Every structure is written in structure tokens, then in C-alpha cells.
Amino acid sequence: MNDQYTNNQFTNNNDEEPKVENALVPIDGDQKKKKKRFAGKNVFAKKTGAMMAVGLVLSGACGFGGGMLASSLGGNNKSVMYQSVERTSTNSNETSNSGAMTTQQIAESAGNSVVEIKTETVTKDSRLQQAVSEGAGSGVIVTNDGYVVTNNHVIDGASKITVTLKSGQSYEAKLVGTDATSDVALLKIDANDLQPAVMGDSDKLSVGETVVAIGNPLGELGGTVTDGIVSALNREITIDGDTMNLLQTNAAINPGNSGGGLFNEYGELVGIVDAKSTGTGVEGLGFAIPINDVKTVVESLSQNGYVKGRPSLGVSLVDVNSAETAMQYRVSEMGVYVAKVADSSGASAAGIQSGDMIVSVDGTAVSSAADVKTAIKSHQVGDTVKIEVQRGGSMLTLNATLGEETPTTNN
């Protein structure tokens, strides 16, 4: 199955392609989208799907990303130490008296580890006047000394991040590192003696197993608890060119839940809520990043501020796939266009320019940013790729050496 998704809202009208959009809801009620990834109210609850490519790919997906905080990313050169427990058995066929908790017990056990996140983002309008937009999401405390995991799309571009504990105490957070590809971000607050989530093992989950989601729906209902089951494992989806394997659940997930926790029947963290699907005739479709995948990313973020070793062409791309977008970008042909080229990148050195339409990568035709990103991800840092572009009616073949993806030079 290869469907089309964009970030966190799923629509399935008869005359529309299915899509998932981020439910980032502007707190001030502004209904404009924030940086493409966010739709609705600037409260977060991101991606969704079952092997899906994005209908609308924003420049952030293959671009420079980061915002004001990204310039200070560098990691802490410190490993994150998680809290875990040993259980005598993980057999999913055991009866309910084998140590499994009730929903109430899970909420009491894990509730203090889930936090509210609010962001402020400074933007400039066409007259270069500054405006501040606010957003909200969720996060999970993973160490007692203040490390918090959330989604990249929750904090993307933020100039200020505030974390509020269940007790009501708030802290300004530092962005330790972030990764758009996995949609994971690591924050640090100056606090001690916190209650971290107990880490579970997402590889041991079974379809039908009870799970509980805890988060901050609508950006103002922190600590909300919903329950359900694991509906499916390893749902492969592609959003903004990034393919992920997610857990699927029917636990109610709403805008603002993004970055919150998905807990198993033992109160252990098994996923970070990442997406929901909504729309006519669509119910009970929520998705979470498996915690085993999150832990791998967080370790790299804590050490380096980003995930090392990912290849990058160094361009920001935009899909032109309708007459409306063609008029918006003043082009006459459908395709994938270069919106920006990062300084000192492989693309810049190869002579790729803003406005070029990318036609093929290594001889394989591409028609979307997702196609380009998939082609680049099949290589390693240092590889040379052949990029064919159309510029001013002429076809050019350029050779670009791939650099390393960082928060300021994504693909």
C-alpha cells in the first residue's frame, strides 16, 4: 500500500487523496499554517499512515530547518541514563494478574513523567515586522535530572521553549538536539529529582496489547489519559520524504498529544506519540514512534546535537504538483524545484541553483521532494551523485558530493 500523507490530519473524502497533517494549532487562534508542518491550531500531533508519501512537501522537510535555537546545538557529550525495570516475564499470553496494571494505575504511575510544552516562534512578515506565534505539545521526562523527549515538529523553529511539569512548575528548556528525519527532539531543563518514565521494550509489543496515551491535547488539557490497544506494528509511512516505522493504536489522540507518551500495560514507555488521523469516516487511527528507535536517536542527540552519518545534498525543495502551486512559484511545469541551496554544501559546489527543477538523480527520474530524498538516503556521506536539472529550458547534468546532514543543512 502506497498512500499519500502529509503531517497530522488525515482526510479521506471521496474526491481527495488521503493525507495526514500535523495538528499544530496556533494558541492565539490564527488558522494559518506554521511552517507547513503544522495545520489547525498550532498544537501538535503529527504524522500518520501506512507507507505514505507526502502530498505536500514543505521546504522544511528537505531544507535547512532549525530556527533560532538550532545555531546552538552541539549536544552535551553525555549519555542519557534511562530508568528501567526487570519484569519476570513479558509473555503477552499471560493473564491479567501477571503484573499488568489498570488504566488508573498506569495514569498514576506514569502521569508525572509527561509534561506540557509551549513554544514561541519569531517570524517576520512581508514588511519585515516581527510577530510571535505560539504553539503547544507534549513531552516525556526520560531522566531524573531534566532530559525531556518530544517531537522535532513540536519545537521546530522555536525561539523559546517552556516545559511545564504536572505539578504546574515551569522551566525554560534548552534544545540539546533535534532530528527531522525521525521526528525526535531532546530538551534539557534545569531541574532535579524528577520522575522519569520507565523505559519499556517496543520490540516486545504484540497486536492487541493494552496501551495508554498521556499528553496535552489542544495545548491546554495537560495530563489527559486515553486508552486503547496496539492496532498494528511496523506501519511504514513516508512523510515529507522521511520513511518511518510506527506503532498504530486506537487510543484517542488529539492535537497537542504529539511528543507525549504511549505506555504499555506495565506502565512502561513504549512509544512517543507522533501522529493522528482525522476526517470523514476515519476514527481510531493514532501513531507513535517505537521507544527503541527513539532511544537510538536520543543517544546521538545527547552526544552531538544531531544524528551523525546521514547524507545531505544541501537543498531546500518544493513540490509543484498543481496549477495553484505552479502559479504561486511562477513556473510552467510540474515537478520538484530547488527553493534554497545551503552555503558550502555539495549542491552549492556542484552549481545547483535556486529555481532549478530536478529531473533525475543518478539517472533515475524524480518528480517529488520525497523521490529526491529517498535517492539521497541510499548513499553515504562523501558519495558523488549525478543530478540532472532543468534550468531556463536547458538540461544540465551536475555532479554533487554529499555532505553530512545537520540541523542547518538537512537534505
The reply to whether 258 belongs to the active site is yes
How would you classify the pairing of strands 198-199 and 83-84? parallel
Beta strands 174-179 and 286-290, pairing class: unpaired
Residue whose C-alpha cell is 543543512: 409
Which residue among the candidates 3, 156, 179, 183 is catalytic per the annotation?
Answer: 183
> Residue 282 is placed in which grid cell?
476515519
Could you give the CA distance from residue 49 to residue 7 in angstroms, rounded to a whole number? 9
Residues present in the chain in total: 411
Cβ atoms within 10 Å of 380's Cβ, excluding its own: 11
Active-site choice (113, 153, 156, 300)? 153
Give ∠ CA 256-260-261 in degrees, rounded to 5. 150
Following CA atoms 367, 327, 315, 351 in sequence, which dihedral angle do they give, to the nearest 10 degrees? Answer: 90
> Does the active-site annotation cover 167?
no
Strand, coil or helix: what is 288? strand
The H or E element that residue 299 is part of is helix 291-304
Could you give the CA distance from residue 286 to residue 79 in angstroms, rounded to a whole number?
30
List of E strands, 268-310 = 269-276, 286-290
Cα distances (Å, whole numbers) of residue 72 to 75, 157, 259, 407: 9, 13, 22, 10
Residue type, 282: V
Contact indicator for 264, 99 with CB cutoff of 8 Å: no
Residue 308: partners with Cβ closer than 8 Å, 6 or more residues away: 300, 404
Closest to 371 (Cα-Cα) out of 391, 387, 383, 355: 387
DSSP 99: S
Catalytic-labelled residue, pool 109, 182, 231, 258: 258
Question: In the structure grid, which three cell numbers stand for residue 168, read together?
Answer: 504546574
Residue 379 known to be catalytic: no
Pick from 20, 18, 70: nearest CA to 47: 20
Cα distance between residue 43 and residue 178, in whole Å? 18
DSSP code per residue over 64-84: ---HHHHTT----S-----EE
Active site residues: 153, 183, 258
